[in-house]
Chains A and B, each alone.
Chain A
């Protein structure tokens, strides 16, 4: 197989504005919807007055709990359902969180819908709320699942000559992809068409069918381009079923684009998590024990299974480990997945603590990490499918010029008083594999169409798949087309950023082998597709394959077909599997303002074989930008008096801009991982972020001598 470095597929459409996103169509007769959201933090709606709203010229209908929408909840993604949370608004008078939808106005024009939505009046019987960890009224409960335990962590910790015991905190944060939530819903007879940016057309189809009580075959969801997602669009959201009801009642297509402020409550978010980390080590810094205890924010109505300790127990060779993950119920919508959902916070906690251990032992932070590298999984004793973290560290140190680092904090000042700091941290992310169906159609003109259950959110899955098919058959990339995000083609599993490529690759590989058989071609080497198809005697040759994770039971493919989630990993029969990364960051703290800048980052990843060099590089760069945001900017603010997230727009929820980003140097080890799959591909999209924030925090310590244990790090932390 040839590795093709092809340009990003779809780039031309994107730079010309011709790529069509969910809301980029306005069918004839299209009406416009605008939600109304609760201004109470919790309680009951005692009065809902829509008189003024319905009087606005052009208003067609106002849906609310006063109306029987005829829909049922779709169930939570985490409990065998389809939606980001179990709660479906608009079905009763209960308000669980500020920002929960209480009505949906539909009008002939967006102007009328917006005007009318502002005129819906609600009165509430309000109840006390708790939106912060530790607030009165929160409920704390132990995790439902048994946590990671290996050896005798508490005993070893107590006996360790060196002990670190600190608490770290991150979040809450929001994904804020640039594309707003929403799309267009249109009925054709008994069939409903949904155009919406999503990571899971299958869940939208299955969930909407369940909510409306119709056959999933009557729902088609189309999402060829997604304007970023990062976990926000990994499930059915509660706007869709009411929108479909409105479109059916009106007999017209309806478009909904949520205001940016609404998106902070209309989908999931990264919950706040507080981490107590205890490390026990000998005097040289050799880790003897670790205890990682996490309190994670949750909603009242759902629990997000937490897997922070999955990462912390595997990052180093720690033989005695104990994790404990608790859930703290607060009055919010249900938190969920945001890029490296548990791994980013866990790495911030552990990698900060490791840096504190390096300081305590006087050892170089890179050397300390190398000395504690794991050869086999310390939890199960199984081998890793592949692990090149030490190579990432060594290569990164070399590219960064780490040898020039002076070890003492505040020791690298510039003449103008600028404080320079260099920090390092590592990350890992489990290799999850999901069932995938792929169909290849080769035609007599030599073209090959791949239809596969994946989604293109910008991570580059279509580029990697075009490269895979073209490379395998030895044909030009422009004779390969890849179709993703359409329920009419093949069933689709949910595509989180990091599971897509490594899960779809095996299915494509299997379908390619069958195609070669059907075409009478050898198992490898170039294929004259046009000639072989003609010889096979038809206009085209079609092959299909469904692949699953190693050891995954066949029922999981049935789950995939109905739009339910079916992941396996990191534990497979005989091995565990993770991607790894090492990040090196330089920070500069300005002398007067104490503003923290990140002029350069070097990142070296171990993601198995690189499926697409161009988009892989971009994934790592993007992860680094996210890490800069997480370390220095992003924080969703809550007001304990009113609830909800208050900085709910892009001016106040601060994400990095171009001027916040300096140079980013990316290198990838590129050793194929054939234990995980026949293509040798591990995941990359999420591991890219893991460890960036602690590398920056550790650099801030090196620059200033200030250990900041809560993200984001603000100017006032280093004054």
Chain B
């Protein structure tokens, strides 16, 4: 009941024999040792597993891994440049947009998408488009500030 699946993760080609029931999240974490994406619910309710699939944000726990055949996946591990942090990651640090850090990779992936989608018109819009990512520590005001600050950099 397995089938060959080929896709890229952070630009690297991957070929795996996968059970159709394996989620992209479990494949990333358990087979590819990319544990930056977190499991917080496994039901698409918390956003901790958010990755980009062909540039769009998806919750990897609800994405069957076989469905990414021929597609391109970007995880938090693929966000930082060689020289250092992405500006949004810098902004998360500068605005203390995290506490325990468990939801943070998913917040960063959603934040990048939120900016790319152009959903940063005002604070309320950012709040709304960042509301698929739960943060139980309650770092929301910092997350808002980090996304706002990074979106403004892009516009400059």
- A positions within 8 Å CB-CB of B: 7-8, 10-21, 23-26, 109-111, 114-115, 176-180, 225-230, 257, 259-260, 457-460, 614-615, 617-618, 621-626, 649-651, 655-661, 663-664
Contact = CB atoms under 8 A, between A and B. Distances in A.
Given A621-B141, A625-B140, A655-B134, A16 B76 contact: yes
B5 to A, nearest CB: 14
A661 B97 CA distance: 14
Contacts of A658: 126-128, 130-131, 133, 135, 140, 143-144
Nearest to A255: B30
A255 to B, nearest CB: 8
Contacts of A177: 100, 102, 136
A658 B36 CA distance: 22
Contacts of B99: 8, 228, 458-460, 615, 618, 622
Nearest to A689: B138
15 contacts: A8-B99, A16-B76, A17-B37, A26-B29, A178-B46, A178-B102, A178-B137, A225-B100, A260-B41, A617-B96, A651-B45, A657-B134, A658-B144, A659-B131, A664-B141
Contacts, number: 182
The 3 lowest CB-CB distance pairs between A and B, nearest first, are A17-B36, A458-B100, A625-B138
Contacts of A227: 38, 100-102
B75 interface: yes
A622 B137 contact: yes
A440 B132 CA distance: 43
A111 B138 contact: no
B116 interface: no
Contacts of A259: 42
A14 B46 contact: no
A618 B130 CA distance: 19
B96 A15 contact: no
A110 B134 contact: no
A163 B35 CA distance: 58
B82 interface: no
A623 B99 CA distance: 12
B104 A14 contact: yes
A655 B136 contact: yes
B96 A8 contact: yes
| Contact residues of B: prevailing secondary structure | loop
A176 B38 CA distance: 15
Given A15-B104, A228-B99, A650-B46, A180 B138 contact: no
A449 B29 CA distance: 31
A622 B43 contact: no
A16 B80 contact: yes
Contacts of B48: 178
B40 A180 contact: yes
Nearest to B36: A17
Interface in B63-101: 75-77, 79-80, 85, 89, 92-94, 96, 98-101
Nearest to A229: B100
B21 A111 contact: yes
A364 B135 CA distance: 36
B139 A622 contact: yes
Contact of A661 (B34, B103, B137, B138): B138
B40 A16 contact: no
A15 B108 CA distance: 7
B96 A615 contact: yes
A18 B133 contact: no
A110 B38 contact: no
Contacts of A621: 138-139, 141-142
Contact of A18 (B29, B36, B38, B92): B36
B62 to A, nearest CB: 12
* Interface core residue of B105, B126, B133 (most chain A CB under 10 Å): B105
Interface in B20-55: 21-22, 26, 29-30, 33-43, 45-46, 48
Given A14-B98, A621-B139, A178 B43 contact: no
Contacts of B36: 16-18
A114 B23 CA distance: 13
B41 A661 contact: no
B40 A260 contact: yes
Contact of A650 (B40, B101, B108): B40
